[in-house]
């Protein structure tokens, strides 16, 4: 089915301008605790052995060469996790979260995708389908659609903090997206006339209705130019603003780019360290922005695949296979590294070069969807993660 | 062809295949859209230059010179600093140096973007310009990396424009050996592990063994030629990366051996010796020619023909490329040995290309350019409105990834991006107000795709300014 057809139902409601300016509410939402979920896409293949170095593995330092992060306690060394693993020294907020039992790290994890194309890998990461480009909707949207009452146009439970919704958020469930507008607002009359013109164009009609509904949103991203830190922090703050609203969305998605470190990756300092630090600061800002809602929040960070274990010829790493993923938040039963660690001995490597995957990323995603968002058990494989029977949901990821 | 009989081909030719009509263009096409497009393929492709635009080699030489000056300053400042307790001189120089490279690059980027924008707004051969932009995006570099902001424009002028009406193989070779591409995909320092240069380095620094960087090799296969479905393995990527070792850029010191700094240089000492097997074919080590041989075979590979045909069909016809049009173009590509005008004529000759008017959403670039063309908005003589492109979501030459900008309507239909287009349309309407009569202009720009609803909406607008806003914001103008 085409995306355009999915959108038709919502567009009909928008066509006459009836929705313009109306308050979006979540009528179906039960009173009491409302779980919040944030999915952060790390585009470009974040090096899991740099972010979560296996400092206790006898093969680590030798294979990594100049990229190796030192053991905890050494200068520029890792922040300690459990003896075998540490966190990159730039990830201080994440480390405090780990100590506070609000961060679980998954290692040697991978999506079902086994080739090394960013674009196909991200497609699998977002569609939740084992084959790239098999479907045009995302697993998170399909999961939202599986929640009771989700298909009503007024039930927008998801928001993308991005100019256009990433693939993971596209699909049958009504979702919205938000990014700042720097131009002066239109007068209502012109807007109404344009809405009339769009009554015959389902896509534009729907998008305009969404845009107008979001106009009342507080804040602006005016200051987000240049450095990754300012951008990430502003995006994270925007996500927090929306999620914090009692009648606002409960799921947010945003993405970060620049993790494709083929060249001069650095170690405790350097290019990747700067970006990890920016991400870490943004996650801290997300927590601050969410305030009391943080205790109902789980944040999943995932990337399309890992990178070669050994450094390449230009002090970076090339595309690999398994990597790390991260589940963070007040709702998370954290303080753990969950892995069936394959080790870094030559025999253990996947195709003689990559960290071998031992945990299916979909198993983590299914666990979060089921226990945190309450996605019905029967929906987890179909329609959310087709052909994923072997990737059984990981249980016990959230606080009781 | 039913639609052709109804006189729709003028509007489709100008909007789908061009950059939007200028007033009078539809009348000039006169219902003969396919002929108008075919005629644009005749004669040499338009080149842009002058206006102080510099060659990539010239730009890189200026960057090298600046770096040398900054290095010298830093060393002087360091010596001064070492004499005293605090080295304020060193940090001051570092701050100054931090600004100097952007100060060099920014005007180059603005001039190049301006030249491209003026060409797009004024060209009489908009189909060729669209094709140029298609290929520039196919062989994308992105200005958010390193010094690419200084090179993206000259790269397009040097590798795409000369070959857009030529042969695919020539364009492929030109792009893969251009310094911008080598820098963007990190090939300039990729070194064969058994090369002379690598052995020398290892002798001097035991334990440090330089080697290959696969980035260019992988993206050449995946994004530029056979595509991810082309049937290659990791071993093929690695082998091709070895083939490409030594494809590098001449630095300032290479002028001693006759290489012009900032141009392509094959560094034999960095090249991995030996025969390589790539996608089942053996390539003996012929140095630089080994890479050329592999690229020529990639260009001729049937998977490349299909990949290019599919991308062209998606770009010009529909998000779901019609199979007959893809087959026709792939066959034209293969049978002509990659002769691009032959492929473009197959596109024009595909009946599907003339179906379903206004099905695709314009990109921000196409939207802004078509508004400037249609309303004959004044264009600054020295720079493009780069902030506008950034605001509407398509910073010029900044796709952010070697895959280039995405090409589906759904990639451009974000709610807040749409609102920004509308808000900008409103600002344009406010600015030119009664300077243009949208009632008269609408049929001249949109021809037979102008809907009754839009025509009446414009006719009943509250003001001339609002009528212009409605014309630009209309679905027929947002789409192509």
**Domain enclosing residue A303, as ranges:** 34-185+220-384
Q: What are the pLDDT digits (tens) for B449-472?
A: 999 999 999 988 877 888 999 999
Strands A297-303 and A336-338: unpaired
Using omega within 30 degrees of 0 as the cis cutoff, is the peptide bond preceding A383 cis?
Answer: yes
> How close A200 gets to chain B, by Cα (Å)?
9
Within a domain: A66: yes
Domain containing A101 — which CATH number? 3.40.720
Q: Does B77 touch chain A (CB under 8 A)?
A: no
Q: Which residue has the higher pLDDT, A22 or A313?
A: A313
> How close A170 gets to chain B, by Cα (Å)?
10
Helices B415-432 and B464-473, axial angle in degrees (round to 10): 150
For residue A194, give the nearest of B193, B422, B451 by CB distance: B422
Cβ atoms of B375 and B432 closer than 8 Å? yes
Q: What are the pLDDT digits (tens) for B367-378?
A: 999 999 999 999
Q: What are the pLDDT digits (tens) for B362-403?
A: 999 999 999 999 999 999 877 778 989 998 989 999 998 999
Q: How many residues does chain A have?
A: 400
For residue B474, give the nearest of A197, A214, A313 by CB distance: A197
Q: Measure the CA–CA gap between B62 and B104, rounded to whole angstroms.
A: 8
> How close A272 gets to chain B, by Cα (Å)?
14
Mean pLDDT value across residues A79-83: 95
Q: Does A204 touch chain B (CB under 8 A)?
A: yes
CA angle B195, B200, B206 (to 5 degrees): 115
Cβ atoms of A397 and A371 closer than 8 Å? yes
Within a domain: A59: yes
Strands B247-249 and B264-266: antiparallel
Confidence of residue A153 (pLDDT cuts 50, 70, 90): low
Q: Does A8 touch chain B (CB under 8 A)?
A: no
Within a domain: A390: no
Q: What are the pLDDT digits (tens) for B163-172?
A: 999 999 999 9
| A-contacting residues in B 441-470 (Cβ below 8 Å) | 451, 453-454, 457, 461-462, 466, 469-470
Cβ atoms of A140 and A169 closer than 8 Å? yes
Dihedral of alpha carbons A103, A44, B276, A357, sign: positive
- Give contacts of A318 with chain B, Cβ < 8 Å: 213-215, 218
Within a domain: A210: no
Within a domain: A199: no
Query: Does the distance separating the beta carbons of A116 and B410 come in below 8 Å?
Result: no
Q: Number of structural domains, chain A?
A: 1
Question: Which pLDDT score is estimated for B146?
Answer: 85
Q: Measure the CA–CA gap between B87 and B99, rounded to whole angstroms.
A: 19
Confidence of residue A138 (pLDDT cuts 50, 70, 90): very high
Q: What mean pLDDT, rounded, does chain A reach?
A: 85
Token representation of residue A340: 């069936």
Within a domain: A193: no
Q: What are the pLDDT digits (tens) for B101-145?
A: 999 999 999 999 999 999 999 999 999 999 999 999 999 999 999
User: Cα Rg for chain B, rounded, in angstroms?
Assistant: 25
Query: Does the distance separating the beta carbons of B470 and A313 come in below 8 Å?
Result: no
Query: Does the distance separating the beta carbons of A186 and B423 come in below 8 Å?
Result: yes
Within a domain: A202: no
For residue A181, give the nearest of B419, B451, B473 by CB distance: B419
Token representation of residue A43: 């585009």
| Strand residue runs (E) in A210-256 | 251-256
DSSP state of A103: E
- Give contacts of A263 with chain B, Cβ < 8 Å: 186, 189, 213, 215
Q: Is the pLDDT of residue B65 over 80?
A: yes
Within a domain: A353: yes
Q: Does B473 touch chain A (CB under 8 A)?
A: yes
């Amino acid at each position: 089915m085409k995306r355009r057809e999915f959108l038709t139902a919502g567009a009909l409601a928008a066509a006459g301008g009836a929705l313009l300016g109306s308050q979006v509410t979540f009528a179906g939402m039960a009173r009491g605790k409302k779980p919040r979920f944030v999915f952060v896409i790390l585009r470009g293949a974040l090096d899991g052995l740099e972010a979560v170095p296996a400092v206790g593995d006898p093969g680590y330092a030798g294979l990594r060469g100049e990229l190796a992060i030192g053991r905890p306690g050494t200068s520029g060394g890792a922040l300690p996790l459990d003896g075998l693993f540490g966190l990159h020294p730039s990830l201080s907020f994440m480390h405090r979260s780990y100590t506070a039992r609000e961060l679980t790290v998954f290692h040697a994890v991978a999506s079902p995708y086994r080739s090394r194309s960013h674009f196909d890998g991200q497609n699998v990461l977002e569609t939740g389908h084992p084959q790239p480009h098999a479907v045009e909707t995302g697993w998170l949207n399909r999961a939202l659609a599986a929640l009771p009452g989700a298909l009503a146009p007024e039930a927008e439970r998801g928001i993308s903090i991005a100019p256009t919704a990433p693939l993971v958020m596209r699909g049958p469930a009504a979702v919205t997206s938000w990014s700042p507008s720097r131009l002066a607002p239109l007068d209502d009359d012109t807007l109404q006339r344009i809405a009339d013109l769009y009554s015959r164009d389902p896509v534009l009609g729907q998008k305009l209705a969404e845009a107008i509904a979001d106009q009342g949103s507080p804040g602006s991203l005016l200051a987000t130019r240049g450095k990754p830190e300012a951008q990430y922090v502003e995006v994270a703050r925007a996500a927090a603003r929306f999620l914090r609203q009692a009648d606002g969305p409960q799921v947010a998605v945003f993405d970060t780019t620049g993790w494709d470190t083929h060249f001069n990756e650095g170690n405790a300092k350097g290019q990747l360290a700067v970006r990890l630090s920016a991400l870490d600061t943004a996650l801290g800002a997300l927590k601050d922005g969410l305030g009391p809602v943080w205790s109902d929040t789980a944040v999943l960070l995932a990337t399309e695949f890992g990178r070669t274990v050994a450094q390449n010829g230009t002090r970076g790493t090339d595309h690999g296979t398994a990597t790390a993923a991260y589940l963070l938040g007040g709702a998370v039963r954290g303080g753990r590294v969950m892995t069936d660690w394959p080790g870094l001995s030559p025999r253990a490597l996947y195709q003689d070069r990559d960290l071998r995957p031992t945990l299916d990323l979909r198993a983590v995603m299914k666990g979060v969807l089921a226990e945190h968002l309450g996605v019905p058990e029967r929906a987890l494989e179909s329609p959310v993660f087709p052909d994923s029977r072997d990737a059984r949901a990981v249980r016990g990821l959230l606080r009781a | 062809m039913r639609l052709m009989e109804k006189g729709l081909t003028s509007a489709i030719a100008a909007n789908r295949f061009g950059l939007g009509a200028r007033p009078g263009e539809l009348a000039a096409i006169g219902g003969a859209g396919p002929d108008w497009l075919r005629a644009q393929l005749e004669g040499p492709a338009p080149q842009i230059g002058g206006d102080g635009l510099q060659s990539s080699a010239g730009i890189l030489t200026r960057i090298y010179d600046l770096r040398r000056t900054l290095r010298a300053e830093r060393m002087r400042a360091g010596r001064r600093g070492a004499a005293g307790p605090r080295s304020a001189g060193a940090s001051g120089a570092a701050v100054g140096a931090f600004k100097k490279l952007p100060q060099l690059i920014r005007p180059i980027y603005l001039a190049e973007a301006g030249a491209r924008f003026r060409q797009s707004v004024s060209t009489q051969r908009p189909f060729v310009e669209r094709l140029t932009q298609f290929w520039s995006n196919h062989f994308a570099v992105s200005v958010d990396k390193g010094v690419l902001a200084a090179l993206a424009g000259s790269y397009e002028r040097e590798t795409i424009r000369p070959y857009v009406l030529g042969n695919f193989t020539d364009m492929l070779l030109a792009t893969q050996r251009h310094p911008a591409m080598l820098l963007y995909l990190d090939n300039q320092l990729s070194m064969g592990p058994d090369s002379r240069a690598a052995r020398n380095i290892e002798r001097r620094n035991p334990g440090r063994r330089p080697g290959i960087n696969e980035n260019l090799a992988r993206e050449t296969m995946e994004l530029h030629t056979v595509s991810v479905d082309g049937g290659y393995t990791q071993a093929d990527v690695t082998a091709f990366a070895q083939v490409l070792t030594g494809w590098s850029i001449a630095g300032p010191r290479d002028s001693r051996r006759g290489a012009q700094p900032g141009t392509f240089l094959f560094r034999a000492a960095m090249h991995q010796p030996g025969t390589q097997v790539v996608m089942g074919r053996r390539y003996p080590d012929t140095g630089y020619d080994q890479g050329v041989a592999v690229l020529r075979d990639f260009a001729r590979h049937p998977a490349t023909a299909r990949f290019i045909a599919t991308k062209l069909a998606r770009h010009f016809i529909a998000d779901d490329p019609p199979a007959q049009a893809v087959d026709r173009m792939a066959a034209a590509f293969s049978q002509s040995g990659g002769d691009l005008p032959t492929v473009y004529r197959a596109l024009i000759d595909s009946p599907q290309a003339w179906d379903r008017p206004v099905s695709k959403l314009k990109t921000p670039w196409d939207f802004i350019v078509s508004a400037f063309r249609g309303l004959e908005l004044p264009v600054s003589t020295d720079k493009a409105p780069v902030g506008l492109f950034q605001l509407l979501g398509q910073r010029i030459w900044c796709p952010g990834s070697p895959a280039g900008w995405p090409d589906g309507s759904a990639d451009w239909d974000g709610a807040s991006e749409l609102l920004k287009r509308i808000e900008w349309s409103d600002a344009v309407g406010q600015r030119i107000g009664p300077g243009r009569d949208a009632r008269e202009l609408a049929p001249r720009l949109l021809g037979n795709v102008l809907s009754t609803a839009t025509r009446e909406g414009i006719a009943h607008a509250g003001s001339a300014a609002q009528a212009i806003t409605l014309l630009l914001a209309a679905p027929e103008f947002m789409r192509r």
